[in-house]
Amino acid sequence: MNESEIKNILDLHVKWINDEDSGSRANLYGANLRGADLRGADLSGANLRGANLYGADLSGADLSGANLSRANLYGANLSRANLYGANLYGADLSGADLSGANLRGANLYGADLSGANLRGADLSGANLRGADLSRTDGIMSFGPIGNQKRIGYAWLDKDGKAIIRLGCSEENLKNTAAAIRLKYGAKSTYEAMVKLAAKIIEEQK
Protein backbone atom coordinates (compact mmCIF):
# COMPACT_ATOMS: atom_id res chain seq x y z
CA MET A 1 0.00 0.00 0.00
CA ASN A 2 1.55 3.33 -1.06
CA GLU A 3 1.56 6.64 0.82
CA SER A 4 -1.20 8.14 -1.33
CA GLU A 5 -3.55 5.22 -0.64
CA ILE A 6 -2.82 5.37 3.10
CA LYS A 7 -3.43 9.14 3.18
CA ASN A 8 -6.77 8.74 1.40
CA ILE A 9 -7.90 6.04 3.85
CA LEU A 10 -6.86 8.17 6.82
CA ASP A 11 -8.63 11.27 5.45
CA LEU A 12 -11.86 9.32 4.95
CA HIS A 13 -11.50 7.80 8.41
CA VAL A 14 -11.22 11.23 10.04
CA LYS A 15 -14.39 12.26 8.22
CA TRP A 16 -16.06 9.09 9.52
CA ILE A 17 -14.97 9.99 13.06
CA ASN A 18 -16.48 13.44 12.56
CA ASP A 19 -19.70 11.84 11.27
CA GLU A 20 -19.40 13.40 7.82
CA ASP A 21 -21.42 11.80 5.01
CA SER A 22 -18.42 11.25 2.75
CA GLY A 23 -16.40 9.51 5.45
CA SER A 24 -15.77 5.80 5.91
CA ARG A 25 -14.19 3.76 8.68
CA ALA A 26 -10.65 2.62 7.89
CA ASN A 27 -10.72 -1.05 6.96
CA LEU A 28 -7.11 -2.20 6.80
CA TYR A 29 -7.78 -5.86 7.48
CA GLY A 30 -4.66 -7.82 6.51
CA ALA A 31 -3.09 -4.75 4.88
CA ASN A 32 0.64 -4.63 4.28
CA LEU A 33 1.78 -1.52 6.17
CA ARG A 34 5.30 -2.72 6.84
CA GLY A 35 7.50 0.22 7.86
CA ALA A 36 4.69 2.73 7.28
CA ASP A 37 4.99 6.24 8.73
CA LEU A 38 1.79 6.64 10.74
CA ARG A 39 3.10 9.05 13.35
CA GLY A 40 0.23 10.86 15.08
CA ALA A 41 -2.37 9.24 12.81
CA ASP A 42 -5.97 9.04 14.03
CA LEU A 43 -6.96 5.39 13.60
CA SER A 44 -9.37 5.22 16.53
CA GLY A 45 -11.88 2.45 15.95
CA ALA A 46 -10.14 1.29 12.76
CA ASN A 47 -10.02 -2.31 11.62
CA LEU A 48 -6.37 -3.40 11.48
CA ARG A 49 -6.97 -7.04 12.19
CA GLY A 50 -4.12 -9.17 10.87
CA ALA A 51 -2.38 -6.14 9.36
CA ASN A 52 1.37 -6.24 8.79
CA LEU A 53 2.77 -3.26 10.71
CA TYR A 54 6.27 -4.69 11.07
CA GLY A 55 8.58 -1.84 12.03
CA ALA A 56 5.88 0.80 11.44
CA ASP A 57 6.09 4.18 13.17
CA LEU A 58 2.87 4.69 15.13
CA SER A 59 4.33 6.99 17.75
CA GLY A 60 1.68 9.29 19.18
CA ALA A 61 -1.03 7.65 17.05
CA ASP A 62 -4.61 7.33 18.29
CA LEU A 63 -5.55 3.65 18.11
CA SER A 64 -8.18 3.73 20.83
CA GLY A 65 -10.80 1.06 20.28
CA ALA A 66 -9.00 -0.20 17.17
CA ASN A 67 -9.03 -3.88 16.22
CA LEU A 68 -5.40 -5.02 16.03
CA SER A 69 -6.01 -8.67 16.79
CA ARG A 70 -3.35 -10.94 15.24
CA ALA A 71 -1.59 -7.88 13.80
CA ASN A 72 2.15 -8.03 13.20
CA LEU A 73 3.62 -5.13 15.19
CA TYR A 74 7.09 -6.61 15.55
CA GLY A 75 9.56 -3.81 16.30
CA ALA A 76 6.91 -1.13 15.76
CA ASN A 77 7.23 2.27 17.39
CA LEU A 78 4.12 2.78 19.53
CA SER A 79 5.65 5.18 22.01
CA ARG A 80 3.03 7.50 23.53
CA ALA A 81 0.35 5.89 21.35
CA ASN A 82 -3.24 5.83 22.61
CA LEU A 83 -4.34 2.18 22.66
CA TYR A 84 -7.15 2.67 25.15
CA GLY A 85 -9.56 -0.26 24.81
CA ALA A 86 -7.78 -1.57 21.72
CA ASN A 87 -8.07 -5.24 20.80
CA LEU A 88 -4.54 -6.66 20.59
CA TYR A 89 -5.56 -10.29 21.01
CA GLY A 90 -2.72 -12.52 19.82
CA ALA A 91 -0.84 -9.58 18.32
CA ASP A 92 2.92 -9.80 17.78
CA LEU A 93 4.38 -6.88 19.74
CA SER A 94 7.77 -8.46 20.26
CA GLY A 95 10.51 -5.85 20.34
CA ALA A 96 7.96 -3.03 20.03
CA ASP A 97 8.43 0.33 21.74
CA LEU A 98 5.35 0.94 23.90
CA SER A 99 6.99 3.39 26.26
CA GLY A 100 4.48 5.89 27.60
CA ALA A 101 1.63 4.24 25.70
CA ASN A 102 -1.93 4.30 27.00
CA LEU A 103 -3.00 0.65 27.22
CA ARG A 104 -5.84 1.15 29.69
CA GLY A 105 -8.44 -1.55 29.19
CA ALA A 106 -6.62 -2.99 26.18
CA ASN A 107 -7.05 -6.68 25.35
CA LEU A 108 -3.55 -8.19 25.25
CA TYR A 109 -4.71 -11.77 25.72
CA GLY A 110 -2.11 -14.08 24.21
CA ALA A 111 -0.09 -11.18 22.78
CA ASP A 112 3.65 -11.61 22.25
CA LEU A 113 5.31 -8.80 24.21
CA SER A 114 8.70 -10.47 24.48
CA GLY A 115 11.47 -7.90 24.43
CA ALA A 116 8.99 -5.00 24.26
CA ASN A 117 9.59 -1.69 26.02
CA LEU A 118 6.67 -0.88 28.34
CA ARG A 119 8.38 1.71 30.49
CA GLY A 120 5.87 4.31 31.63
CA ALA A 121 2.97 2.57 29.85
CA ASP A 122 -0.46 2.70 31.51
CA LEU A 123 -1.69 -0.89 31.82
CA SER A 124 -4.64 -0.20 34.13
CA GLY A 125 -7.38 -2.72 33.45
CA ALA A 126 -5.52 -4.33 30.54
CA ASN A 127 -6.05 -8.05 29.94
CA LEU A 128 -2.59 -9.65 30.12
CA ARG A 129 -3.73 -13.24 30.41
CA GLY A 130 -1.52 -15.55 28.40
CA ALA A 131 0.70 -12.71 27.20
CA ASP A 132 4.40 -13.46 26.69
CA LEU A 133 6.26 -10.97 28.90
CA SER A 134 9.69 -12.56 28.68
CA ARG A 135 12.54 -10.02 28.49
CA THR A 136 9.97 -7.22 28.62
CA ASP A 137 11.21 -3.89 29.97
CA GLY A 138 8.81 -2.08 32.32
CA ILE A 139 6.54 -4.91 33.44
CA MET A 140 7.02 -8.32 35.02
CA SER A 141 4.89 -11.30 35.91
CA PHE A 142 5.39 -13.37 39.05
CA GLY A 143 3.89 -16.45 40.67
CA PRO A 144 1.95 -18.63 40.89
CA ILE A 145 1.23 -17.60 44.47
CA GLY A 146 -1.45 -18.26 47.08
CA ASN A 147 -4.00 -21.05 47.31
CA GLN A 148 -5.46 -20.08 43.96
CA LYS A 149 -2.03 -20.15 42.27
CA ARG A 150 -2.48 -16.68 40.87
CA ILE A 151 -0.08 -15.00 38.46
CA GLY A 152 0.65 -11.44 39.51
CA TYR A 153 1.90 -8.48 37.49
CA ALA A 154 3.97 -5.48 38.51
CA TRP A 155 4.70 -2.31 36.57
CA LEU A 156 5.55 1.31 37.25
CA ASP A 157 3.08 4.15 37.29
CA LYS A 158 3.87 7.62 35.92
CA ASP A 159 5.57 8.49 39.21
CA GLY A 160 7.84 5.44 39.08
CA LYS A 161 6.01 3.58 41.85
CA ALA A 162 5.05 -0.09 41.59
CA ILE A 163 1.49 -1.08 40.71
CA ILE A 164 0.55 -4.65 41.60
CA ARG A 165 -2.22 -6.67 39.98
CA LEU A 166 -3.46 -9.84 41.63
CA GLY A 167 -6.68 -11.24 40.23
CA CYS A 168 -9.19 -8.39 40.03
CA SER A 169 -7.18 -6.20 42.41
CA GLU A 170 -4.94 -3.49 40.98
CA GLU A 171 -3.33 -1.28 43.61
CA ASN A 172 -0.09 0.35 44.68
CA LEU A 173 2.26 -1.66 46.87
CA LYS A 174 1.08 -0.12 50.14
CA ASN A 175 -2.58 -0.97 49.55
CA THR A 176 -1.77 -4.41 48.14
CA ALA A 177 0.39 -5.30 51.15
CA ALA A 178 -2.32 -4.09 53.55
CA ALA A 179 -4.95 -6.23 51.83
CA ILE A 180 -2.67 -9.29 51.98
CA ARG A 181 -1.96 -8.78 55.70
CA LEU A 182 -5.70 -8.49 56.35
CA LYS A 183 -6.39 -11.75 54.55
CA TYR A 184 -3.30 -13.84 55.34
CA GLY A 185 -1.80 -12.22 58.43
CA ALA A 186 1.55 -10.52 58.97
CA LYS A 187 4.78 -11.64 57.26
CA SER A 188 3.19 -14.10 54.87
CA THR A 189 5.09 -15.55 51.91
CA TYR A 190 2.41 -13.96 49.76
CA GLU A 191 3.34 -10.47 50.97
CA ALA A 192 7.07 -11.17 50.72
CA MET A 193 6.76 -12.15 47.06
CA VAL A 194 4.70 -9.08 46.21
CA LYS A 195 7.26 -6.81 47.87
CA LEU A 196 10.08 -8.55 46.04
CA ALA A 197 8.31 -8.08 42.70
CA ALA A 198 7.80 -4.38 43.50
CA LYS A 199 11.46 -3.99 44.42
CA ILE A 200 12.64 -5.65 41.21
CA ILE A 201 10.39 -3.57 38.96
CA GLU A 202 11.30 -0.32 40.72
CA GLU A 203 14.99 -1.08 40.22
CA GLN A 204 14.35 -0.92 36.47
CA LYS A 205 13.79 2.84 36.65
Q: What residue type is assigned to position 74 of the chain? A: Y
Which pLDDT value is given to residue 47? 98
Which pLDDT value is given to residue 146? 72
Which pLDDT value is given to residue 187? 77
Burial environment of residue 71 by CB neighbours within 10 A (0 to 12, 13 to 18, 19 or more): buried
Which pLDDT value is given to residue 27? 96
Per-residue pLDDT tens digits for 117-159: 998 899 999 999 999 998 888 898 888 887 778 888 999 887 8
Which pLDDT value is given to residue 183? 83
Domains, the chain, in order of start with CATH, read 29-137 (2.160.20.80), 140-205 (no CATH)
| C-beta neighbour count of 130 within 10 angstroms | 12
Residues of the chain with pLDDT under 70: 205
CB 80 within 8 A of CB 59: yes
| C-beta neighbour count of 188 within 10 angstroms | 16
